[in-house]
Structure 1
Amino acid sequence: MFQRPQHLLSRAAASYRVVLFEEPLFPQDQAGLPRLDLREMAPGVQVATPLLPPDWDEGRRDAALRELLDDLLAGQAGGPVAVAWYYTPMMLSFSGHLQPAVTVYDCMDELSAFRGASQGMQLLERRLMQRADLVFTGGRSLYEAKRGLHPSVHLFASGVNADHFAPARQPQEDPADQRDLPHPRLGWFGVVDERMDLDLLRAAAERRPEWSFVMLGPVVKIDPASLPDLPNIHWLGMKGHGSLPGYLANWDAGIMPFALNESTRFISPTKTPEYLAAGVPVVSTPVADVVRDWGEDGLVAIASDAEGFVAAAEATMARPRAEWLPRADVRLARISWDGVWAGMDALIHQAHAARGTDPSPTPATSLTL
């Protein structure tokens, strides 16, 4: 997956030495544990994945994670951490002793509403809000929910790398695993989890057995056996980010069949502008941010049930590109990831100035948790 964190961190690496400390994994082979697996995600971005024994309790895990984190940072040149950038409050349980110059909370979603979320997440988020200098939100609904909880909350809805998806607007070789699927093809790429309305997907496929529903991405936190098993729904698994334009170029529509529940109440899907950048018309269920940011402008078709979803897909596939694509391009030009990062970086430098610190003379460390 190459989404908001990857886009932002790869750009941050132009100014910072970026260390991404991931959530731990628990391998069955416990030889040499605990330890960190280190790799480079992009130039200047080091990814550290903690590996811990699966049978340790929470206290022992946090102690080990703190020690692994301290050892990792001790080996970083450039002095103390200039920016601690949090994506989940849960990381505060073992990193709260750090004293970065600036603390950022980039809130992409209401994680406490997700399936399996820790009961302590809301408490840790309150503590993180107290420590943070800046809070960024990944969508309008999240901004409205968080802006009263901190004096410096800023809306940064997800951007788009339009150049990456632009090749899909021209003929591309059809990937082998979808080459023989009949048109029209309606496609999805992304994580398949409790946020997807599998009943709606099944019902739409039943109503149009001649359509091909192409589903790309990993199945997470739900039983794979719960996926609708119909001849015209094709679960093709995870694909590399670089291969997506080849798939999209051969789709007739992009679909976002999100369930309407607590886990989708605040989402602002990154795939919305990515579909449009690929020149693919989009149909979605009425997720609040999609409706307000894209549906009201007629750039995404909206439907709340299977019958309406099918009708909306038929209508949006029939629309000439010239009717909607130029307007979409105007919007896309305003939300590049370069622009999103530039706005964030300016606020981070203001926060440094307010604290009397300056990360610019040397490649300071930015720690992402």
Structure 2
Amino acid sequence: MGNFNKIIRHIKTPIILSRKVVHRLPNGLIKRKVLNFPSHKKNSRMLDEIISNNKGKVIYIFPSPSCPWGYMFQRPQQIARTLAEGGDIVIYLTDTSYPYKPDWSVRGFFEVEPRIYLFNNGTDNFIHNLAGKDVVVWQYWPHQLKYVQCLKEKYPVIHIYDVIDDITTFDGYNTIKEDYTQSLNTADIVLATSKVILNNVSKIRQDVISIPNGVQVKDFNKPLSEINALSTMNNNYKLVVGYYGAIAEWFDFELLNKLSGDFPEIAFIMVGEIYKEVENEVGNFEAVSNVFFLKRINYEFIPSLLTYYDVAIIPFVINDITLSTSPVKVFEYLAGGKEVVSTDLPEVRSIDESLVACSHLEFKEKLELALKRKNDLSRKAYLKSIAEQHTWEQRVSRVTHEIEKRRLERNYENRSF
């Protein structure tokens, strides 16, 4: 299975390859014609129709460049979904650099979910016809500052800068530090996902607000689907310990190797996007019979995936990136009623210290304990109750309250006496 998955990761279908070639065409009329983008006038009419069907609603813009909607479903998408479920309009910008659906297929406005519109105009993704509208732009990458500035020059928007990760997490470019600092200084509202980020940001913005990640609990109470490959795993191994998410340089491969040797009767299933930088590390496990790396699956199948896990783990090394992270998956693990064992991440420790191990030996011991109580119904109820204290609705409501305060302040300042 390991060899098969390794091969699959490198196969690109002719369709995907052709999409990547077309994406490299320079922005302009030719590219717009080839990809059949609607005219700017048609986009304006579509926007007018969206607004007229949702009168009086706030318009939230998630700017370019963006985390693709169809990629790992993380904080930006979850917040967008929560805002839309609250009744507001979300315009989530995308582009053809991600050659998979739904992002690749977006031409103009595309309603991917109720009140969530993916948008791509084939050039700059700038949205016109927003004069006089109630607009909030939700920036979450330093890279998005240029787009936000263009929007702010034309419209009196409320600008949120959501500091979601340590700056070293991002692909670097010449002005990333300057863009990061300017974003902090110019945003109306600044959010921090972790205590480490909060402390760092507060040196520049003392009014920064702590908004950790969360979970959509209701997603883990829906009917489940069978995942055939994992059904086979359950038949071949006594127990399953699992992980899902990015498999990147912060993944503790040494810990995983030790665990696989200590527990040969357990299948260790790692599901997710394997970053190019660690492909060799992953390849080293091809000779390890009870470790399986499987391709990323869509968010909608995550609750089903968890049903195959006896215990869920977060095996991260401790560095600047992981010290600053608020892992979405820990809340989702808990919502699925799963025992969790994590390396010593501050944000996990603040949820429940019993979930955290400070060494490889302690990780092994806590994994043994978690496996013993995996069927304890009272324990499952407790774990789910933790998740219910950390919902996306609660997180977003704190931000919308701050937005309303800024809106009232602006109205007061603009009053004529």
TM bucket, shorter chain: 0.7 to 0.9
Q: What residue number does 1:145 align with?
A: 200
SS in 2 for 1:158: coil
Bigger CA drift: 274-283 or 158-167? Answer: 158-167
Indicate the residue corresponding to 2:307 in structure 1. Answer: 249
2:164 counterpart (86, 95, 108) = 108
Shift of 1:221: 4.3
Q: Is the 8 A contact 2:139 2:148 kept in 1?
A: no
Paired with 1:268 and 1:49, the residues of 2 have a C-alpha distance of 30
Give the deviation of 1:183 after TM superposition.
2.6
Amino acid corresponding to residue 19 of structure 1 in structure 2: I
RMSD of aligned alpha carbons? 2.7
Are 1:21 and 2:93 counterparts? yes
CA-CA distance at 1:231 after TM superposition: 1.6
In 2, are the aligned partners of 1:301 and 1:313 still within 8 Å (CA)? no
Q: Distance in 2 between matches of 1:174 and 1:25?
A: 32
What does residue 214 of structure 1 align with? 269
Highest Rg: 1 or 2?
Answer: 2
Match of 1:325 among 368, 377, 380: 380
Matches within 5 A, 1:166-205: 166=221, 174-181=226-233, 182-205=237-260
8 Å contact from structure 1 (residues 133, 152) kept in 2 = no
2:138 matched to 1:85? yes
Distance in 2, Cα, partners of 1:26 & 1:160: 25
TM-score by length of 2: 0.71
Higher relative helix content: 2
Aligned residue runs from structure 1 range 1-369, under 5 A: 1-13=72-84, 14-22=86-94, 25=97, 39-48=110-119, 68-70=124-126, 73-74=127-128, 76=129, 79=132, 82-99=135-152, 100-110=156-166, 112-114=167-169, 116-166=171-221, 174-181=226-233, 182-227=237-282, 228-229=285-286, 230-295=288-353, 298=354, 300-305=355-360, 307-319=361-373, 321-322=376-377, 324-356=379-411
Unaligned runs of 5+ in 1: 28-34, 52-66, 358-369
Query: More displaced, 274-283 or 145-154?
Result: 145-154
Q: What is the percentage of aligned positions where both structures have the same residue?
A: 22
Aligned counterpart, 1:362: none
- What is the identity, as a one-letter code, of the residue corresponding to 1:105? Y
**Residue correspondences, number:** 325
SS of residue in 2 equivalent to 1:177: helix
Q: Matched residues in 1 for 2:97 and 2:225: separation?
A: 37
In structure 2, give the amino acid aligned to 1:198: F
Distance change (3 Å), C-alpha of 1:150 and 1:336 = same
Query: What amino acid does structure 2 have at the position aligned with 1:309?
Result: F
| Structure 2: gaps of 5 or more residues | 1-71, 100-105, 413-417
Structure 1 stretches of at least 4 aligned residues deviating more than 3 Å after TM superposition: 35-41, 48-51, 76-81, 322-327
Shift, 1:98, TM fit: 2.2
Counterpart of 1:222 in 2: which secondary structure? helix
Q: Quick one: structure 1 residues 50 and 260, their matched pair in 2 at CA, closer, same or farther if it must change by over 3 Å? A: farther
Cα drift, residue 40 of structure 1: 3.5
Q: What SS does the corresponding residue of 1:103 show, helix, strand or coil?
A: strand
TM score, norm. by length of structure 1: 0.79
Moved more, 185-194 or 39-48: 39-48
